């Protein structure tokens, strides 16, 4: 299976030059992609999850009628892509299957990011029949590492691994074209399992594995865990085949090498092309600023 690897690159916005050029002409084009947090409730307890940053103590579920209305408005406004993410875990939302099917029926290109723990056969079917891509945030190749990263025991790790296998098996059965991937955040205490993860994901039958640096939520400042993974990446890349790709966010790792890396520019224009609608029903200009009232 061929994967468009450009979707993981820093210049992927260039696939939407019509929207970029419209903005450069002074027009106000609709966003390319919207992230939708239908809930900020999560059943995992990842110690360094950026989803907890800026969150209030109360939990939110986006009201179903409002969620339906939002999806309808996005389709009518000609937004191209909708990503169900968090925030929290989207599969904690009771009516998530209905919303996914609605968005698909309205012609939105769907992405879905999940921790994978709540997937069952029916949920897998809906996702594989509706989504362009689906990524499971596994982040570990062993139960011990999973407990450190996701805050849960080995049984939870085994469940997620089994659910990934369920997805790949059902994808073949349904002849689905959904791109299935696994995510892995790198830091000092995850780098040693990177190659094990690459091997595990190949065995599970996903289309790709993506490595990204773990972000540090430092009072809203833009920082990543500085971890030298060059050697591990080179070893992992050797596991790639025609049907399975090992990918990494090269631009982020390159940026981390800079002495004064981070958001050193004075103004960000990203909100012209993407935004976040959170479970509190507010619109935030950036996924890194969700929950921060200054940026909604």
pLDDT by residue for the chain (296 residues), tens only, comes to 455 544 555 567 778 888 888 888 988 888 999 999 999 888 887 766 655 544 544 568 999 999 999 999 999 999 999 999 988 999 999 999 999 999 999 999 999 999 999 999 999 999 999 999 999 999 999 999 888 888 888 899 999 999 999 999 999 999 999 999 999 988 888 888 999 999 999 999 999 999 988 776 655 555 555 667 888 989 999 999 999 999 987 656 566 556 666 666 778 887 888 899 999 899 888 776 677 777 77
Q: Is 63 inside any structural domain? A: yes
**Contacting residues for 39 by C-beta, under 8 A, at least 6 apart:** 59, 60, 61, 62, 86, 87, 88, 89, 90, 92, 93, 279
**Contacting residues for 258 by C-beta, under 8 A, at least 6 apart:** none
pLDDT recorded at residue 222: 56
**CATH code of the domain containing 287:** 3.20.20.70
pTM as predicted: 0.88
pLDDT recorded at residue 187: 83
Contact 222, 288 (CB under 8 A): yes
Residue 282's Cβ-count burial label (10 Å; 0-12, 13-18, 19+) is middle
Q: Is 106 inside any structural domain? A: yes
pLDDT recorded at residue 1: 45
Q: Is 56 inside any structural domain? A: yes
- Residue 44's Cβ-side half-sphere holds a number of Cα atoms within 13 Å equal to 33
pLDDT recorded at residue 217: 61
pLDDT recorded at residue 267: 80
Query: Any bridge partners for residue 213, and if so which?
Result: 186
Closest CA to 267 of 248, 242, 285: 285
pLDDT recorded at residue 130: 99
Query: Any bridge partners for residue 62, and if so which?
Result: none
Count of domains for the chain: 1
Q: Is 168 inside any structural domain? A: yes
Q: Is 25 inside any structural domain? A: no
Tallying the residues shown for the chain, one arrives at 296
Q: Where are the alpha helices (DSSP H) in 15-120?
A: 17-24, 64-76, 96-105
Domain coverage including residue 136:
5-20+32-262+269-295
Cα first-last separation, the chain: 40
Q: Is 27 inside any structural domain? A: no
Residue 39's Cβ-count burial label (10 Å; 0-12, 13-18, 19+) is buried
């Amino acid at each position: 299976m061929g994967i468009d690897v450009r979707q993981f690159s820093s210049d992927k916005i260039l696939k939407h030059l019509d929207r970029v050029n419209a903005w450069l002409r002074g027009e106000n084009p609709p966003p390319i992609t919207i992230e939708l947090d239908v809930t900020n409730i999560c059943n995992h307890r990842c110690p360094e999850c950026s989803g907890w940053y800026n969150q209030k103590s109360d939990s939110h579920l986006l009201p179903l009628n409002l969620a339906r209305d939002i999806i309808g408005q996005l389709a009518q406004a000609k937004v191209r892509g909708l990503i169900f993410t968090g925030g929290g875990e989207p599969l904690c939302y009771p009516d998530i299957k209905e919303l996914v099917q609605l968005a698909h029926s309205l012609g939105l290109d769907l992405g879905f990011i999940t921790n994978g723990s709540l997937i069952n056969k029916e949920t897998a079917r809906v996702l594989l029949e509706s989504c362009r891509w689906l990524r499971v945030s596994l982040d570990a190749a062993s139960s011990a590492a999973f407990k450190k990263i996701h805050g849960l025991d080995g049984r939870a790790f085994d469940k997620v691994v089994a659910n990934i296998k369920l997805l790949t098996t059902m994808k073949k059965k349904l002849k689905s074209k959904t791109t299935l991937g696994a995510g892995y955040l790198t830091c000092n205490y995850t780098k040693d399992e990177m190659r094990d993860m690459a091997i595990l994901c190949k065995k599970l039958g996903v289309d790709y594995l993506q490595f990204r640096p773990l972000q540090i939520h430092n009072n809203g400042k833009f920082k990543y865990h500085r971890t030298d993974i060059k050697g591990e990446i080179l070893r992992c890349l050797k596991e790639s085949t025609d049907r399975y790709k090992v990918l990494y966010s090269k631009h982020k790792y390159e940026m981390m090498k800079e002495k004064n890396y981070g958001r050193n520019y004075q103004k960000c224009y990203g909100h012209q092309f993407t935004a976040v609608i959170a479970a509190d029903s507010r619109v935030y200009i950036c996924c890194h600023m969700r929950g921060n009232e200054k940026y909604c």
